[in-house]
Structure 1
Amino acid sequence: MPPTTRRFLVAVLPHPLACAAVAGAYYSFRDRLPHPMASHIGPGNKADGFDDPGSFLTVSLVAFLAVGVVFAFLTWLTRSAPGQQRGVAVAGGGVGVALGWIVVGILRANAQVGAGGDAADVTLPIWQAGLGFAAGVVYGVLGWLVTGRDKAPAPATERAPAEAARLPLGESENASWTRVVGARAQLGVTAIMLVTGAFVAVVGGWTGGLVCLAFGVPLVLLCRVRVSADRRGITVTPAVLPWPRLNVPLERIEEAGHRSVDALRDLGGWGYRAHPGISGIVLRSGDALSARLTTGSEFVVTVDDAATAAALLNTLADRERSNGNGVRG
């Protein structure tokens, strides 16, 4: 089975399976569920949200399917970037497992109170939620192993074209280049999402709030990134953290250059983008470091002074292919 298919299954399968588990629990417990039942457990392990059992089942199933569709789309969208697709897949599957565990736990807790009981007495120990998140993490680890890596592309065997820009360096000299780039618009969107997540958690339940926060936290990390060009190739990390790290090794770069990128027209938006034939980090429109890869695709990252970074990469690639690999000039 191709790695892309495995990633898609890892991302999507937990959501219909969670639907089946929730529906099975509901029909097992329905004669013992209070009316209305507790649908949300708030601070202090007290029930603070109530709903008709049938409505709770419907909302839960629709929510699982909707989240599954979102992660299916994200997995498809990142199909040209195997490393990122792998991360999206295990995150999507882990979310489905964790939320399924917790919703089944809520149904079981209601059944323990009984059909004639008061739903306000329903409690869900914090360790139950902890087990749910632990199950999601375990699934994510297993999914990471199952999805595997794609076969590494063959390294570049030719120097960059003679007309490609180069940075003069002596035989014993080495150099590195780094810049930090940020996006004010994305910072605003992130702030709105985090505030929305907090609001949803207080008003509508922490499950929905966690979904908003799960999308908001990665956006925080991508509001400002550090772009480096050196003998390791192109490396992009959050400006304040060394991880997560996106690296395009020097041996995968056939030629580096720079060009103007329009975020909407060329890549359909901001942030990490992946489309057939092109992927990269786009925090704004404008000058971008561009690398033509051995796979035939292009990697771009919008950053100031991209021309200097490209010239340095071409020089370092020439040196490596001449000295280290016996490559033709």
Structure 2
Amino acid sequence: MPPATQRQRKLTAGQSRQILFLALFLPVLVYGSGIAIMISALPDLPDTVAIHWNAEGEADGFDSPLVPIIANSALAVGLAALFFGMTWNGAKRGTSPTLVRLLTAFTPGFAVFMMVQMVPSLLNQRGLTAEQIAAQGVGLEWMLGLVVGLAVAGVCWLLAPQLEPVEAHTSEVAPLPLRATERAIWSQTATMSTLLWWILLAVITGGMTATIISTLDKPDQWYQIAIFGFVYAVVFSTMTWRVTVSPTGIAVRSALGWPVVRVPLEHIKRATVSDVDPLTEFGGWGIRFAGGRRLGIILQRGNALEIERNDGKRTLVVTIDDADVGASLLTSYLNR
């Protein structure tokens, strides 16, 4: 079966200019200005500056002033490319107008939030000794960044283009040829790509290791390990799902058996196949919610089994190989 038709939205020249200005030009200007200011302050900075502060606001990490400049430059390039790509691709692919508008406003707002924190935290260390830096602590830059960033995001929300909604294109499937008394079950495993597996494994391993190290000398905070361990186990369990279609409906069960999503046959209006882009339509991977009252179990890009319900609850979207087979079998049972 050919892939489901992708949703497309034709942008006007004015809408394209608005998105390019708000989601690309403004963030690049903010990031570039912030990095330039930090670089200009290098001659006045000591050889070692504070680059990290603990929860009490005390400096607990020190390094060359080049480290935060290089790190922030790399982070700025990555974030600018990521958020603009999500915004532009979402606008072109027909993603919910509200989500596109939110991304268009969030991108420059986050850039301001980040730079208003990073630039003063470095500039405030000009001309100070190591002892003065250690005693200085962290200021209220994060709060100022939050306020200014929200204000900028609010203005950009008002300036963002008003896009027309685009109906999701789903492909109808022919019912699987079954005799009236014949029963069949379809079961398929859906999992994330190998790259995403390794990325999540690295993040979870790093986070768990940091948690264990931070609690080695604090036995009264051992509960943090248990909490993070539980959260990580749930995250791992939602990286692989088993999708089963039977005469009773559809069940989507995670690797550990929980969580599980069931839709009885009598609550299914129709089963179709759609084409899904995780970032632009659902904002990422995993259990996600999207516009159009859709609940997604999003593990990969491409074909998805889409279950429209007749009980008023959210449409279920599961990205999976051979989605057309599952939809075809469900259609057969619905036609009985």
TM-score computed with the length of structure 1 as normaliser: 0.50
Distance 1:201 1:67, change over 3 A: farther
Deviations 1:163-188 (A, max 9, x none): 966xxxxxxxxxxxxxxx97478688
Matched, 1:103 2:118: yes
Distance 1:182 1:104, change over 3 A: same
Aligned match of 2:137 = 123
Gaps of 5+ in 2: 1-12, 176-188, 214-230, 242-257, 260-268, 279-283, 287-295, 308-316
Aligned positions, number: 241
- Equivalent pair of 1:109/1:122 in contact (CA under 8 Å): no
Equivalent-residue separation in structure 1 for 2:27 and 2:115 (angstroms):
8
| 1:45 positional shift | 1.2
| 1:119 positional shift | 2.9
Deviations 1:124-181 (A, max 9, x none): 13x321332333333333333322331245899xxx99x966xxxxxxxxxxxxxxx9
| 1:102 positional shift | 1.0
Distance 1:71 1:310, change over 3 A: farther
Aligned match of 2:62 = 50
Equivalent-residue separation in structure 2 for 1:110 and 1:141 (angstroms):
32
Aligned match of 1:138 = 151
Equivalent-residue separation in structure 2 for 1:195 and 1:20 (angstroms):
35
Equivalent-residue separation in structure 2 for 1:310 and 1:258 (angstroms):
15
Aligned match of 2:203 = 193
What is the percentage of aligned positions where both structures have the same residue? Answer: 18
Equivalent-residue separation in structure 1 for 2:119 and 2:165 (angstroms):
41
Equivalent-residue separation in structure 2 for 1:107 and 1:286 (angstroms):
44
The correspondence of residues 84-233 of structure 1 with structure 2, limited to 5 A, is: 84-111=99-126, 114=128, 118-125=132-139, 127-153=140-166, 183=191, 190=200, 192-196=202-206
| 1:101 positional shift | 1.0
- Equivalent pair of 1:90/1:141 in contact (CA under 8 Å): yes
Aligned match of 2:19 = 7
Deviations 1:52-77 (A, max 9, x none): 33444343333322322233333344
| 1:37 positional shift | 1.7
| 1:258 positional shift | 7.8
Aligned match of 1:283 = 299
Equivalent-residue separation in structure 2 for 1:130 and 1:35 (angstroms):
28
Distance 1:257 1:129, change over 3 A: closer
Deviations 1:12-42 (A, max 9, x none): 3224422313422552x44543321222223
Equivalent-residue separation in structure 1 for 2:137 and 2:197 (angstroms):
38
Equivalent-residue separation in structure 2 for 1:286 and 1:75 (angstroms):
19
Matched, 1:17 2:30: yes
Equivalent-residue separation in structure 2 for 1:198 and 1:15 (angstroms):
34
Q: Which amino acid is the alignment partner of residue 134 of structure 1?
A: V
- Equivalent pair of 2:50/2:133 in contact (CA under 8 Å): yes
- Equivalent pair of 1:45/1:123 in contact (CA under 8 Å): yes
| 1:285 positional shift | 9.3
Aligned match of 1:65 = 77
Distance 1:54 1:94, change over 3 A: same
- Equivalent pair of 1:164/1:257 in contact (CA under 8 Å): no
Equivalent-residue separation in structure 1 for 2:330 and 2:147 (angstroms):
42
Distance 1:258 1:309, change over 3 A: farther
Aligned match of 2:87 = 75
- Equivalent pair of 2:94/2:166 in contact (CA under 8 Å): no
Aligned match of 1:33 = 45
C-alpha RMSD of matched pairs (Å): 5.5
